[in-house]
Structure 1
Amino acid sequence: MIRHSLFALTAAFGLSACTSQPDYRAAETAPPTVLQVDLTRYAGLWYEIARYPNSFENNCAGVTAEYVQRADGRIDVINTCHKGSVDGPVEVAKGMARVMEQSGNARLKVKFAPSWVPFAWGDYWILHLEPDYSAVLVGDPSGKYLWILAREKSLDAGTLARIETRAEELGYETGPLEMTDQG
């Protein structure tokens, strides 16, 4: 059974600018993103490998994010969380992303709130992308949010270390990253 309860509501406002989420990035300048993202290759299912702690993913396991290109150029975003364990009840948050101009498709704005809510767009920046699109580092420039995603439920230690090193090079703390239970 899919529930759209508190997970969807908190995700709707979780990326908004008016949050008390801690910053895990001290740098004053925005981090560089990857130069170019092929959105057709980026679309599809991603498994969350690690994340910064955040209120809208409390007690979530088996987390996935699915991106579906739309005819209008926007992207549907479907985030899934299993509460408590990978076998726990499923909660789904549906949102939408739009590409920021002149970003090579690497800077997006994501919104999980209803269309009538004007200020709920959050930054979704692609900070590192494996050449074969098998893993990605995504975050916001403030350091409030950071995720490592992969096409498979697990990521080899070498790739994970390389992505964490890239995060550190960009000024993000990696100590707060929580590994996601994918079962």
Structure 2
Amino acid sequence: MRAALLALPIVLTLGACVAGPSGNPNPPQPAKAVELERYLGKWYEVARYDMRFEKGCEGVTAEYSKRPDGLIRVLNTCRQGAVDGPVKVAEGKAKVVDAATNAKLKVSFFGPFFGDYWVLDHADDYSWSIVGEGSGKYLWLLSRGLPTDADRAALTARAKALGYDVTMLRPTKQPAP
């Protein structure tokens, strides 16, 4: 599992070149700028397009923090098979590639290989975020807290409004509050 998570940037980089389903043949550009200080912290995965590197993951979280070198530390955590399954962790780094909005980043979990990470939309209070990239093959719905059914419905509706095929979304199980 760790090797699969570490391969995420390679998969994202090569994703546009590989035949496979696209949940949005015309992915949108990010809707608004991102204040990095407000984006940092812990996010809970609400749903995702299921990919090989996240197969069987539940209880998925992502934590972002500043690094001394100016990059962003990315810490992805997954519970294998169930919300109380064995913990798998992958640590990476991200760099902003669109300084005008901070909404487009490149993320790496493996050496010099970076994949796109676009904050497509987020709540004004940073309570939720929708993340994707330019091929439309990857999509993550994120929440600051453990997601409720209402959170899932609202984020799914927003993803659909952005042009994504929401039937491809796989809800992520999270521990009970």
Coarse TM-score class (shorter-chain normalised):
0.7 to 0.9
After superposition, the Cα gap between the structure-2 partners of 1:5 and 1:33, relative to the gap in structure 1 and judged at 3 Å, is: closer
Supply the AA of the counterpart residue of 1:11.
L
Q: Distance in 1 between matches of 2:99 and 2:129?
A: 20
After superposition, the Cα gap between the structure-2 partners of 1:32 and 1:101, relative to the gap in structure 1 and judged at 3 Å, is: closer
Supply the AA of the counterpart residue of 1:34.
A
Unpaired stretches in structure 2, ≥5 consecutive residues: none
Q: Distance in 2 between matches of 1:54 and 1:78?
A: 18
Q: Report the alpha carbon displacement of residue 9 of structure 1 after superposing the two structures with TM.
A: 3.4
Q: Report the alpha carbon displacement of residue 163 of structure 1 after superposing the two structures with TM.
A: 2.7
Name whichever structure is richer in helix by fraction. Answer: 2
The normalised TM-score by structure 2 is 0.88
Question: Which of 110, 113, 136 matches 2:110?
Answer: 113
Supply the AA of the counterpart residue of 2:174.
Q
Supply the AA of the counterpart residue of 2:111.
P
Question: Which of 159, 162, 180 matches 2:172?
Answer: 180
The normalised TM-score by structure 1 is 0.85
Q: Distance in 1 between matches of 2:159 and 2:5?
A: 27
Q: Distance in 2 between matches of 1:126 and 1:12?
A: 16
After superposition, the Cα gap between the structure-2 partners of 1:103 and 1:17, relative to the gap in structure 1 and judged at 3 Å, is: farther
After superposition, the Cα gap between the structure-2 partners of 1:8 and 1:100, relative to the gap in structure 1 and judged at 3 Å, is: same
CA RMSD of aligned residues (A): 1.9
- Counterpart in 2 of 1:9? 6
- Classify the secondary structure of the residue corresponding to 2:140: strand
- Classify the secondary structure of the residue corresponding to 1:13: helix
Q: Report the alpha carbon displacement of residue 135 of structure 1 after superposing the two structures with TM.
A: 0.7
Deviates more, 1:5-14 or 1:90-99: 5-14
Q: Report the alpha carbon displacement of residue 70 of structure 1 after superposing the two structures with TM.
A: 2.1
Q: Report the alpha carbon displacement of residue 112 of structure 1 after superposing the two structures with TM.
A: 1.0
How many residue pairs get matched? 173
Q: Distance in 1 between matches of 2:174 and 2:93?
A: 24
Q: Report the alpha carbon displacement of residue 74 of structure 1 after superposing the two structures with TM.
A: 1.4
- Counterpart in 2 of 1:48? 45
Deviates more, 1:86-95 or 1:101-110: 101-110
Task: After superposition, give the CA deviation of every residue in 1:20-61 in whole Å (9 maximum; x if it has no partner).
Answer: 55211122xx51213211111110111101000101100001
Unpaired stretches in structure 1, ≥5 consecutive residues: none
Supply the AA of the counterpart residue of 1:25.
N
2:156 equivalent to 1:164: yes
Q: Report the alpha carbon displacement of residue 156 of structure 1 after superposing the two structures with TM.
A: 4.8
- Counterpart in 1 of 2:64? 67
Q: Identical aligned pairs, as a percentage?
A: 45
